[in-house]
Chain A
Amino acid sequence: GPKVLQIPSHQIIDMGQMVTLNCDPVSNHLYFYWYKQILGQQMEFLVNFYNGKVMEKSKLFKDQFSVERPDGSYFTLKIQPTALEDSAVYFCASSLVPGLGVRYEQYFGPGTRLTVL
């Protein structure tokens, strides 16, 4: 089936450094998402993105976070500067563009495990 790729699978960095998480979505998908999962807890929505714009973001999407997808390249989540509480697994997902009364399933990548020391 359709696959979402995430690079890297693991990242260890020192607090205060910048990190960029990369996502290669399903090729015909135009709607992208990031979710955060702290060990042992549920996945929580961070942000979604379409047509170059953030559509909605949660309170977990702090000012230090940003997302972009330059033409034809990865959908990225950047954290600058990082904090200890940013340690988690970050999942990227993509879907077809939802519409009024229409919802499409999201396809998830395998996650990037971020450890902030």
Chain B
Amino acid sequence: GDSVTQTEGLVTLTKGLPVMLNCTYQTTYSPFLFWYVQHLNEAPKLLLKSSTDNKRTEHQGFYATLHKSSSSFHLQKSSVQLSDSALYFCAVSGSFNKLTFGAGTRLAVCP
């Protein structure tokens, strides 16, 4: 079946520094990848979705590029803010559009 690996459980950074959250996947389908962000006690919200192979997608300062050759869709931001502190999930869409999620990465941004 499909699977998603997020290697970092917790990332702690100082405000203004760059960040990269890793996401690799396995799927038997054509890959459609998503990043969701979840703030405490809130619904997960879509942050980014993949486009075509090797094309970067951006939203709210975050960006990611789907690389089929390495089965990756890493999330990046050049300068993190305090408000970026949240839980980030990478997910792959499989049969009937069901999502398979990674374990999530908690991003903690310090002043």
Contact = CB atoms under 8 A, between A and B. Distances in A.
Contacts of B43: 4, 91, 108-111
Interface residues of A, number: 27
Contacts of A91: 43-44
B98 interface: yes
B44 A43 contact: yes
Interface residues of B, number: 23
Contacts of A105: 34, 46, 49
Interface stretch (B15-23, B62-70, B71-79, B88-96): B88-96
Interface of B: 30, 32, 34, 36, 41-46, 49, 89, 93, 95-104
Interface of A: 4, 31, 33, 35, 41-45, 48, 50, 55-56, 58, 91, 95, 98, 101, 103-111
